[in-house]
Amino acid sequence: MSVITQGNSTSHDRGWWLYLALHWSGIFASSLLMSWGLFALFFLVIGGFSLDGAMLHIDNFASRYVAADADRVMRFKVVLAGVQLASIAAILFFRRGAWIPRDPKLEGLARG
């Protein structure tokens, strides 16, 4: 992390902040994709690890969603949002080692 000193104040280099923002957007995007993969894995598991079984369960799920009234659809959306947030939180917890980006300057020193 490079620091630029200007008078009495210290501010981080703008490039470092952009690097951090890019790193965090990558962490969140990949975690979101992993959570969607967990939903696909869930349907594969309840479908007996076959594509036909998974599609039958998805079809059953979709037909019940379409036939539901507005209150039940809202409850479904709340449950789905809660499961999505919980899965993303669990994935981010297990990826906590990747939260802080590596500093290439410090890695060169560590290798000797």
Count: domains in the chain: 1
| C-alpha neighbours within 13 Å on the C-beta side of residue 62 | 7
For residue 109, being part of any structural domain is answered with no
Express each pLDDT in 26-48 by its tens digit.
999 999 999 999 999 999 999 99
Cβ atoms 68, 77 nearer than 8 A? no
Higher pLDDT, 109 or 37: 37
Q: What's the confidence (pLDDT) of residue 105?
A: 65
For residue 16, being part of any structural domain is answered with yes
Q: What's the confidence (pLDDT) of residue 104?
A: 65
For residue 112, being part of any structural domain is answered with no
| C-alpha neighbours within 13 Å on the C-beta side of residue 112 | 0
Domain extent at residue 16: 3-101
Express each pLDDT in 73-89 by its tens digit.
999 999 999 999 999 99
For residue 18, being part of any structural domain is answered with yes
Q: Which 3 state secondary structure label does DSSP give 41?
A: helix
Q: Which H/E stretch holds residue 12?
A: strand 9-12
For residue 108, being part of any structural domain is answered with no
For residue 58, being part of any structural domain is answered with yes
Q: What's the confidence (pLDDT) of residue 17?
A: 86
* Pair of tokens at residue 54: 């998974």
